[in-house]
Structure 1
Amino acid sequence: MPFARLATATTPTCHIGLGLAAVGRPGYINLGRDDDLGDDRSVDTLRTRSHQLLDAAYAQGVRYFDVARSYGRSEEFLADWLNARPQVNDVVIGSKWGYTYTAGWSADAETHEVKDHGLATYERQRAETDALLGDRLDLYQIHSVTPDSPALTDKDLHARLAEAAAQGLTIGFSTSGPAQADAVRAALAVTVDGEPLFRTVQSTYNVLETSAGPALAEAHAAGLTVIVKEGMANGRLAAPHAPQALRAVAEETSLGCDAVALAWILRQPWAGVVLSGAATVAQLASNLHAPVVDLDADQLTRLATLAEDPRAYWERRGQLPWH
């Protein structure tokens, strides 16, 4: 399994990954995006920015990079970066299928992505991903599985995913929504010929949204690698939007709210990789302080009080504008 490579790493940042959701397309729902990206969001500009982030992350020990078919040109940007650096052979590459990007490189599109977990979409998007990343792809995840997703019951799809696994590709899934825990547990029960199909799970988890925690612990105990996404709650945990309790702890540690928020996740014993969704090199540098943040019991308890009802959390997330 490719994540075994990370398990033997000794750098403090080996449990941090870089996701390109925020820089692979001109529009996204993260707060502060106008300040982060400015007005120039051409393909070439975001390609350059992606490469700068990848260079900075790699130089500082990050070895997992995360993209998706729906993240605009993120796979293309990552593929270009890898092709220009043939000496980079110690990274783990993950992508996702199940959403189709439909915004046409516009931040103002009426519909930015369309979800479909059917076999035909898998076949089409797998070919598209393969054309870009080829044998550099280590992990292919079903994007945003919910308890009612047909991907959990489609035996033909399971068979095709099992074939890909037999050929060396690690198969995983990501989750979204207030019922993430139910989706994780349902996916853990999916087997092909008596063997578990999924080897990784990627879920939203942060100090505001902790509901998936027990299920992620179960997934870890079952042998899956747990990847945490949206650790910054789409910018809600970054200054100046961070709640006062997080700001207070950050001041006590003399580090940023972002580093503290990600450090809190890294303290979870089941957290294998925590994604940075940085849009600037400065944000990335601040995020990468997370592994060395020392949080005491009182600080951990104070941060734990920030947890929201998952339905309220996801309702608010759903109201964030694309910009």
Structure 2
Amino acid sequence: MPFARLATATTPTCHIGLGLAAVGRPGYINLGRDRDLGEDRSVEAMRERTHDLLDAAYAQGVRYFDVARSYGRSEEFLAAWLAARPDADDVVVGSKWGYTYTAGWSAEAERHEVKDHGLATYERQRAETDALLGDRLDLYQIHSLTPDSPALTDKELHAKLAEAAERGLTVGFSTSGPAQADTIRAALAVTVDDKPLFRTVQSTYNVLETSAGPALAEAHDAGLTVIVKEGMANGRLAEPHAPDVLKGVAEETTQGCDAVALAAVLRQPWAGVVLSGAATVTQLGSNLHATVVDLDDDQLTRLGTLAEDPRAYWERRGRLPWH
């Protein structure tokens, strides 16, 4: 599996990946984007920002980069960076299909993405991804599975995904919503010719939303690589929005709230790669400090009190504005 290459990275930051959801398009739901991005969100400005982030991440040992068809021009930006960096042949690249970007490079669009897990969308988006990333693509994931997704039962789609896996592509899935655990367990049961179809799972997990933890442990025990997204809860765990408990622990560790929040995720024994969604090089550097944060049992217990009911968490996330 391509994720074995992460073990050859030279620093502990190989366990942190960089997701480009926040910089591949002008609008997103992360808090603080006005401060982070400013007014210039032209394609050229966002491309330069993305390349600066990729340069900084690679220099500091990050080896997994995460994009998606719905993340605006994220695949395009990453492909251009890879073409200019032939030395980065140890990078692992993951993308996702299942959402189509519809905002037309506007932060004020009425609708930013449209979900469709049908076979026709897979084949169209697979061709689009291949045109940009070609053989640099290591992992292709179904984007945001939920228990009612037809992708869990579509045998024709499963056969196509299995064919891609036979040709060397790793096939995975990501999850969203309050029933992530149910989705993970349903996906673990999907087989083709009595062989498990999926080799990776990417789920939301942070100190506010811990409900997927037991199912992610089961996935890890079943041999899947676990990728954690939204470890910062879309900015809710960063200054100045972080809850007081997190601020208190951060003060004790002399690190930022973001580093502590990500460190709590890294402590999970099933966590293979934890994504940073940094929008600036400064944020990225602070996020990477998570690898040196040593949380004791008392601090972990206090952080554990922050967990919310998953339905309340996802309802609040659904109300976050695109900006």
Shorter-chain TM range is over 0.9
Tell me the equivalent position of 1:124.
Answer: 124
Counterpart of 1:53? 53
Q: Which residue of structure 1 lines up, in the alignment, with residue 197 of structure 2?
A: 197
Note the 1:178-197 alignment, pairs <5 A.
178-197=178-197
| Per-residue deviation, residues 162-197 of structure 1 (Å, max 9, x unmatched) | 000000000000000000000000000000000000
Q: How far off its partner does 1:85 sit?
A: 1.0
CA distance in 2, matches of 1:6, 1:86: 17
Q: In the alignment, which residue of structure 1 is the partner of 2:314?
A: 314
TM-score normalised by the chain length of structure 2: 0.99
Unpaired runs of 5+ residues, structure 2, are none
Q: Residue in 1 aligned with 2:167?
A: 167
Per-residue deviation, 1:117: 0.1
| Per-residue Cα deviation, 1:194-233 (whole angstroms, up to 9, x for no partner) | 0000000000000000000000000000000000000000
Q: Which amino acid in 2 is paired with 1:6?
A: L
Residues 283-303 of structure 1, C-alpha deviations (whole Å, 9 max, x = no match): 000000001101000000000
Which residue matches 1:19? Answer: 19
Amino acid at match of 1:250: A
Give the 3-state SS of the residue equivalent to 1:298 in structure 2: helix
Contact 2:93/2:137 (8 A) holds in 1: yes
SS at match of 1:288: helix
Deviation above 6 Å: which 4+ runs of structure 1? none
Distance in 1, Cα, partners of 2:187 & 2:306: 28
- Provide the aligned C-alpha RMSD in A: 0.5
Where in structure 1 are there 5+ consecutive unaligned residues?
none
For 2:19, the aligned partner's letter is G
Aligned length: 323
1:46-195 matches, cutoff 5 A? 46-195=46-195
Whole-angstrom CA distance in 1 between matches of 2:281 and 2:266: 21
**CA–CA distance in 2 between the matches of 1:10 and 1:295?**
23
Aligned-pair distance for 1:132? 0.1
Give the fraction of aligned pairs with identical amino acids, expressed as a percent.
Answer: 87
Report the counterpart of residue 249 of structure 1 in structure 2.
249
**How far 1:67 moved relative to its partner?**
0.1
Q: How far does the alpha carbon of each residue in 1:115-162 deviate from its partner, in whole angstroms, 9 at most, with x for none?
A: 000000000000000000000000000000000100000000000000
Q: Which amino acid aligns with 2:228?
A: V
TM-score between both structures, scaled by the size of structure 1 = 0.99
CA distance in 2 between partners of 1:228 and 1:47 (Å): 25
For 2:254 and 2:76, how far apart are their aligned partners in 1? 38
Taking the aligned partners of 2:73 and 2:282, their CA distance within structure 1 comes to: 22
In 2, distance between residues paired with 1:48 and 1:304? 38
- Structure 1 Cα separation of the partners of residues 6 and 85 of structure 2: 20
User: How many Å separate the matches in 1 of 2:125 and 2:9?
Assistant: 32
Distance 1:202 1:162 in 2: 19
Which amino acid in structure 1 is aligned with residue 322 of structure 2?
Answer: W
| Distance in 2 between residues matched to 1:8 and 1:221, nearest whole Å | 22
Tell me how far apart the structure 2 counterparts of residues 293 and 89 of structure 1 sit (CA, whole Å).
Answer: 29
Distance in 1 between residues matched to 2:245 and 2:123, nearest whole Å: 46
What's the offset of the Cα at 1:9? 3.5
Q: How far off its partner does 1:8 sit?
A: 4.1
Which residue of the partner structure matches residue 282 of structure 1? 282
Alpha-carbon separation, structure 1, partners of 2:266 and 2:86: 31
Deviations 1:298-317 (A, max 9, x none): 00000010000000000000
